[in-house]
């Protein structure tokens, strides 16, 4: 039996939004099924991204749910059109774990990305040598033959910061992540220089939480927040452990991580002070 393709991030976004709109309009799956002259099961499959939806059917549902604002309809039509589109990273095949493809899809579509990294510099700000040293340091998680493709993938991801409509990237790092000489002295120096250069991009904000701040909200561990619209509430939070990855999408969870990020932002050095600290660490390295 042929395995069904996994829903894409865009497909799941569309399904979740259609469910939200239906519930906000006070409509049942039976109401939606009657409008499309289909089964309730098909509506459920559309909302879970198990199947796609035709543009005409999408229009019928949006009319049923009272969505009349042209821009909102355009966004949903674009999601429907692209819901089965393969991302560039699919060329890497099984080199990429299935959970990581979701991460790449969110990163590709994000209007903004915010991350807290206490021990490792953010992947989007890493040099090739730094990335390689990090991957080689964990042979239990990364097989040697996969290191080269994963390094190449990490470098290709960085285009989201320099493309014509770049993502707004806000990274907060803890000082130890800057001081750890990953890959040796030369790699460390080059990484610090690259970090300072990247931080000067107009869409990049970099802040450092200094050691002398003491305890901070960052004790919760590293996380990445993805905003797919301009709403201050992120659409997803990514957490990673040695053996697994988790995506948080519940409103209460998203609000909690948004609050933690704000606490971290307020306790960190401002961007100019952060660059001064990076320069001081580079001078003493």
Domain positions in the chain are 9-82, 88-284
Number of Cβ within 10 Å of residue 257's Cβ equals: 22
Tokens 């393969």 belong to which residue?
Answer: 86
Q: Are strands 112-117 and 168-174 parallel, antiparallel or unpaired?
A: parallel
What are the b/e assignments for 67-106, b being 16+ CB within 10 Å? beeeeeeebbeebbeebeeebebeebeebbeeebbbbbbb
Q: Which has more confidence, 285 or 12?
A: 12
Alpha carbon distance 212, 175 (integer Å)? 9
The helix-helix angle for 9-24 and 55-64 (nearest 10°) equals 30
- CATH of range 9-82; options 2.30.30.40, 3.40.1190.20, 1.10.260.40, 3.40.50.300: 1.10.260.40
Q: How far from 85 is each of 22, 74, 90, 266, CA to CA, in Å?
A: 25, 17, 10, 39
The burial class, CB within 10 Å (0-12 / 13-18 / 19+), for 30 is exposed
Q: Which has more confidence, 66 or 94?
A: 66
Please state the rounded mean pLDDT for residues 229-258: 84
The per-residue pLDDT for range 133-184, each reduced to its tens digit, is 998 887 766 788 888 988 999 999 999 999 999 999 999 999 999 999 999 9
The per-residue pLDDT for range 222-234, each reduced to its tens digit, is 999 998 878 888 8
The per-residue pLDDT for range 170-188, each reduced to its tens digit, is 999 999 999 999 999 999 9
DSSP alpha helix (H) spans, the chain:
9-24, 29-36, 40-47, 55-64, 70-82, 98-109, 128-136, 144-157, 175-179, 185-198, 251-267, 271-284
User: What is the fold, at CATH topology level, of the domain defined by 88-284?
Assistant: Endonuclease; Chain A (3.30.870)
Q: What is residue 184's predicted lDDT score, i.e. its pLDDT?
A: 94
Tokens 């049942």 belong to which residue?
Answer: 28
Phi, psi torsion values for 96, nearest 5 degrees: -100, 125
């Amino acid at each position: 039996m042929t395995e069904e393709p996994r829903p894409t991030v865009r497909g799941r976004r569309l399904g979740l939004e259609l469910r939200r709109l239906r519930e906000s309009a006070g409509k049942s799956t039976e109401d939606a099924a009657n409008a499309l002259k289909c089964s309730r099961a098909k509506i459920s499959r559309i909302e879970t991204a198990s199947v796609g939806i035709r543009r005409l059917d999408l229009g019928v549902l949006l009319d049923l749910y009272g969505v009349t604002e042209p821009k909102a309809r355009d966004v949903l039509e674009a999601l429907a059109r692209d819901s089965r589109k393969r991302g560039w990273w699919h060329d890497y095949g099984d080199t990429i774990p299935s959970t990581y493809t979701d991460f790449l899809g969110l990163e590709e579509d994000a209007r903004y990305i915010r991350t807290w990294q206490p021990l490792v510099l953010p992947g989007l700000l890493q040099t090739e040598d730094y990335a390689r040293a990090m991957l080689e340091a964990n042979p239990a998680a990364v097989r040697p033959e996969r290191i080269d493709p994963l390094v190449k993938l990490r470098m290709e991801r960085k285009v989201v910061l320099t493309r014509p409509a770049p993502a707004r990237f806000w990274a907060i790092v803890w000082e130890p992540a800057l001081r750890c000489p990953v890959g040796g002295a030369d790699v460390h120096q080059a990484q610090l220089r690259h970090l300072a250069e990247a931080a000067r991009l107009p869409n990049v904000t970099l802040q450092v939480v200094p050691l002398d701040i003491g305890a901070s909200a960052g004790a919760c561990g590293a996380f990445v927040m993805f905003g797919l619209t301009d709403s201050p509430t992120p659409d997803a939070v990514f957490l990673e452990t040695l053996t697994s990855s988790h995506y948080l999408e519940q409103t209460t969870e998203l609000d909690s991580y948004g609050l933690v990020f704000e606490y971290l932002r307020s306790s960190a050095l401002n961007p100019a002070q952060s660059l001064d600290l990076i320069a001081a660490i580079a001078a003493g390295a």
